[in-house]
Amino acid sequence: MNESQTINTPKYLTSSSNYDKHPFVRVTDSSDDCKNGWSEIGDAIKTFIDSKAGKPTVIVVDNYPGVLDEEVSIQLQKIFQPDLTINTKDLFHPEKTLNGILEPYMGDHPIFGKLSNLRINDFFDPDKIATAENLINQHSDDIVLIYGIGSSTLASEPDVLIYADMARWEIQQRMRRHEVHSLGFNNRTESAGKLYKQAFFIDWRVADHHKMDILNRVDFILDTNDRTDPKLISAGLLHKGLAVAASQPFRVVPFFDPGVWGGQWMKEVCDLDQEKINYAWCFDCVPEENSLLLGFGEHRFEIPAINLVLAHPQRLLGNKIFESFGAEFPIRFDFLDTMEGGNLSLQVHPLKQYMKEHFGLEYTQDESYYMLDVEADAVVYLGLKTQVDRKEMIADLRLAEKGEIEFDAEKYVNKFPVKKHDHILIPAGTVHCSGKNGMVLEISATPYIFTFKLWDWGRVDLDGKTRTISIDHGIPNIQWDWDTNWTKAELINQFKKVDEGDGWYEEKTGWHPLEFIETRRHWFSKKVTHDTAGNLQVVNLIEGREVIIESPSAAFKPFVVHYAETFIVPAAVGLYTITPYGESIGQQCATIKAFVR
């Protein structure tokens, strides 16, 4: 062997990665069901129009914020050669007026706002809308193209209605590249953080409501997540795909992101780009952010996974969750990788009442850390030390925020060693963070941006900018009496065996009574039967190379899951089994399952 060559010895795996980064739900076996490229897309739409209408034609292409307006509009004009084109970006209120409308929801905090109840019509200038409607009426003998967010409000009965959808993770990448703007604004040069804030608290709420209002009238769905490879399917196939997903176990598409504290574990286990500095996050089950891939033969059509939640909330979530949360997916699974990395920020999450009063959400971010892997020196910071001086700690936090001192976290916060398969419970109000050299499967309620950083170890972010500290939000939520003894007794490894059978046993992992999520861990070397009992379940394979998920009644096709992969089991599934598969046959495997109590 040449001296310059090296052997890559796996550190975290005993064999090569089998983690599937592109899971999909198969809808049909025909690649012809999905049209690829603008030429095929144009031919399909023209054929549809010719089958139902002669000239003149009104073509409406509504879209989600984040679609690249100029690029898509140019392609549509080439295809249809319209006599009149109206783009709704020209019909919004002036930005000064919009700022006044949005101010109650945006506020002045760089991260946090208040969830809005605005609708798409709140963004439009009534006089501009009236002018546009008059123009459309004057061109009744012409081809008219109406394009842009909310365009379907201008034509109640178009000859063809197309919806261009967009996944939120791709939108965020476009924000970072300054390719997209906020709804109603020409502000693509703003920071990605500001664009994301308006999107989270306003734009996506408005767009989701509007999308669901019109989805049953849409003729086609357009996927431009990959700007070089646009795709089109009929709305009927979209609805079929959503119905299939709501009736079987499935995975959403995970995404990975670096961070100032990020580690190296996911690079190997999830088969990621070795040239990246690190990977800090993986959202492996956050339907509000993740994509869902629909399979048509060889083609993969990308939609926001939230579409499934909005379209089939009761089949997916179950009646109990739907009645409590509405069409909101309440459980989040994600990865936090600090292996060979650094500490997470010291933080606290808001109490339920604080969340409702300040941000407009009915529930808060209770969470837990399940330790998938650790190095020997792994720790968690959890709860306050007994008899902490509250005034002294607050004073030190404020001095540290100003850069005048280094905050002595170990003076005030408990530091506990952790090992693989430990489960650390973190009800809202608990001061906490994972230390370096831990691989965390974070299981939590979904309102994931509401983290109040108290101390970030004096770091700047990967872009060199100071990370936002939220002491004023954090202090009112700290539970000062959750001290060392209470934390040890209530929040660490509350395992209790609750059932067993041939080749398996089940444990409660002890979520605190304050939290609405329950988790169960199964250790098994043989088939285990599970039952959703009409309640959404989210599961991760925490031990074992691979397992197979099957329906006792053959209600869905067998579904293989690999180590560290998260999968969703809709409430409508009912009975299903999990069995060691492939290299795991005869081996001890384990899953952790979360559901709403």
Residues 527 and 480 in one domain: no
Q: Is 304 a member of any domain?
A: no
Report how far residue 426's alpha carbon sits from residue 487's, in angstroms, rounded to the nearest whole number. 10
Single residue among 491, 506, 532 that ends a domain in this structure: 491
The number of distinct structural domains making up the chain is 3
Confidence of residue 376 (pLDDT cuts 50, 70, 90): very high
Whether pLDDT at 14 is above 90: no
Last residue within a domain, chosen from 245, 274, 297: 245
- State whether 83 and 225 are in the same domain: yes
225/368 same-domain check: no
372 lies in the same domain as 440: yes
- Cβ atoms < 10 Å from Cβ of 80: 20
pTM of the model: 0.94
Cβ atoms 144, 83 nearer than 8 A: yes
Residue with tokens 């664009």: 195
Q: Is residue 15 part of a domain?
A: no
The pLDDT, as a whole number, for residue 66 is: 96
Q: Give the residue-averaged pLDDT of 4-22.
A: 75
When pLDDT is cut at 50, 70 and 90, the band that residue 510 belongs to is confident
Structure confidence at residue 9 (pLDDT): 56
Decide if 537 is inside a domain: yes
Environment class of 273 (CB within 10 Å of its CB; exposed 0-12, middle 13-18, buried 19+): exposed
What digits encode the pLDDT tens for the residues 588-597?
999 999 999 8
Same domain, 236 and 339: no
Residues 465, 522 within the same domain: no
> Higher confidence at residue 447 or residue 32?
32
Helix or strand (DSSP H, E) at 60? strand 58-63
pLDDT at 6: 37
Look up the CATH number of the domain holding residue 566. 2.60.120.10
Q: Which three-class secondary structure state does DSSP give residue 31?
A: helix
Domain-embedded: residue 129: yes
Percent with pLDDT over 90 in the chain: 87
Cβ neighbours of 325 (radius 10 Å): 18
Per-residue pLDDT, 53: 67
Output the pLDDT for position 179: 96
Q: What is the pLDDT of residue 4?
A: 35
pLDDT for residue 55 is more than 80:
no
Q: Is 411 helix (H, G, I), strand (E, B) or coil?
A: helix
| Amino acid 447: pLDDT | 66
pLDDT at 69: 86
Residue 296 inside a domain? The answer is no
Q: Indicate if 70 and 167 belong to the same structural domain.
A: yes
Write down the pLDDT at residue 156. Answer: 85
Distance in angstroms (rounded) separating the CA atoms of residues 524 and 507: 12
Q: What average pLDDT does the segment 16-37 reach?
A: 97
Which residue in the block uniquely carries the two structure tokens 């200038």? 125
Please indicate whether residue 9 or residue 163 has the higher confidence score (pLDDT): 163
Q: Any idea which of 1-15, 112-126, 442-456 has the lowest mean pLDDT?
A: 1-15
Task: Check whether residue 79 and residue 188 sit in a common domain.
Answer: yes
Q: Is the pLDDT of residue 1 over 50?
A: no
Do 483 and 505 share a domain, yes or no?
no
**What are the C-alpha distances in Å from 58 to residues 81, 84, 140, 156, 485?**
12, 10, 9, 10, 69
For residue 502, the enclosing domain spans 496-596
Does 476 reside within a domain?
Answer: yes
Inter-CA distances, 155 with 123, 151, 158, 184, 189, Å = 17, 8, 6, 20, 32
Residue pLDDT, tens place only, 446-494: 766 889 999 999 998 888 888 889 999 999 999 999 999 999 999 999 9
Of the three residues 438, 460, 491, the one that is the final residue of a domain is 491
What number is the average pLDDT over the span 568-588? 97
Tell whether 166 is covered by a domain.
yes
The predicted model gives 533-540 an average pLDDT of 97
Q: Give the other-Cβ count within 10 Å of 13's Cβ.
A: 15
448 lies in some domain:
yes
pLDDT at 54 over 70: no
- Grade residue 514 by pLDDT with cuts at 50, 70 and 90: confident
In the prediction, which pLDDT does 268 show? 96
Please give the C-alpha separations between residue 64 and each of 183, 187, 223, 237, 340, in angstroms, as whole numbers.
Answer: 10, 17, 11, 19, 39
**Same domain flag for 477 and 438:** yes
125-164 pLDDT tens trace: 999 999 999 999 999 889 999 999 999 999 988 999 999 9
Give per-residue pLDDT as tens, 216-273: 999 999 999 999 999 999 999 999 999 999 999 999 999 999 999 999 999 999 999 9
Residues 99 and 222 in one domain: yes
DSSP state at residue 408: -
Distance (Å, rounded) from C-alpha 451 to C-alpha 111?
Answer: 10
Q: What is the CATH number of the domain that holds 119?
A: 3.40.50
Give the pLDDT band of residue 421 (cuts 50, 70, 90).
very high
Residues 263 and 359 in one domain: yes
Residues with Cβ within 8 Å of residue 496, at least 6 apart in sequence: 507, 508, 510
Q: What is the Cα–Cα distance from 544 to 352, expressed in whole angstroms?
A: 37
| Mean pLDDT, the chain, whole residue set | 94
* Phi and psi based region of residue 418 (left: phi greater than 0; alpha: psi -120 to 50; beta: remaining): beta
Q: Are 561 and 591 in contact (CB under 8 A)?
A: no
Each residue of 264-302: pLDDT tens digit? Answer: 999 999 999 999 999 999 999 989 899 999 999 999 999
| Residues 318-351 pLDDT 10s | 999 999 989 999 999 999 999 999 999 999 999 9
Angle between helices 37-52 and 69-80 (to 10 degrees): 50
pLDDT interval class at 361 (50, 70, 90): confident
| pLDDT at residue 588, as a whole number | 97
Q: Check pLDDT > 50 for residue 2.
A: no
For 97-122, give one letter per residue: b (16+ CB within 10 A) or e.
ebeebbeebbeeeebbbbebebebee
DSSP type of residue 385: P
